[in-house]
Amino acid sequence: MLHHAAASLLGVPEIETVFVVLAPGDEEFRRHDWSAFGDRLAPLYCGGANRHDSVLNGLVAASSAVDPEDWVLVHDAARPCLGRAELRRLIDEVLSDETGGILAVPVADTLKRADATQRIAATERRQGLWQAQTPQMFRHGVLIRALERAGEVTDEASAVESIGLRPKLVESRVSNFKVTYPDDMELAELILRGRGADT
């Protein structure tokens, strides 16, 4: 999955380097051949206990190679089916919007809020609701500041929102889903095969 996620990002010429944040003791990354990406793929062995910590640690570790005004994109390796058109749309739309933004899809399903006994407590209105995806694109300095100030958050946009900014929602596709459950692997393989990618 990491290979496909990195290949998607590096297929866009504006992205100079993909920093891969790994656990400090990770040994798996070195077992694979990444030579096809040349020096544009850079492992950082500074992962934290959760997403917030890993992203912040990675941003700090990359600070010597990245200017605070540079744009950075944070992407989940568990989203191997990122399409080039969606990535291109995100970059183009965010470059004209100083706040930053994220890929997302409007919620299509009816949403139910459950109580402690797994019974429906309420039906939520889906109008105006979007399902956040990655990449999420912000200025390096803004994102570090936001993550340092925010408590634990589940995505970078939440941290940026917490400092008073309103990131842009850029419409994506449902195929850019996060591989979470065992059946998701089969679906990801089908999508990647359909694009002619080696799985």
Instruction: Give the model's confidence band at 98: pLDDT under 50 very low, under 70 low, under 90 confident, else very high.
Output: confident
- Alpha carbon 125 to its chain centroid, in Å, reads 26
State yes or no: pLDDT of 94 exceeds 90.
yes
In Å, what is the CA distance from 135 to each residue of 3, 56, 118? Answer: 15, 15, 32
Q: Which of 48, 47, 33 is nearest to 2 (CA)?
A: 33
- Alpha carbon 76 to its chain centroid, in Å, reads 4
Average pLDDT (56-65) is 97
Average pLDDT (122-134) is 94
Cβ proximity of 56 and 158 under 8 Å: no
Architecture of domain 2-194: Alpha-Beta Complex (3.90)
Cβ proximity of 177 and 79 under 8 Å: yes
> Domain limits of the chain?
2-194
Q: Tell me the percentage of the chain whose pLDDT exceeds 90.
A: 91
Q: Which of 48, 61, 81, 50 is nearest to 19 (CA)?
A: 61
Cβ proximity of 54 and 68 under 8 Å: no
In Å, what is the CA distance from 191 to each residue of 46, 136, 142, 162, 186? Answer: 31, 22, 34, 35, 9
The more confidently predicted of residues 115 and 194 is 115
Instruction: Give the model's confidence band at 199: pLDDT under 50 very low, under 70 low, under 90 confident, else very high.
Output: low
Instruction: Give the model's confidence band at 102: pLDDT under 50 very low, under 70 low, under 90 confident, else very high.
Output: very high
What are the tokens at 104? 């997302």
- In single-letter form, the type of residue at position 130 comes to W
Average pLDDT (9-24) is 96
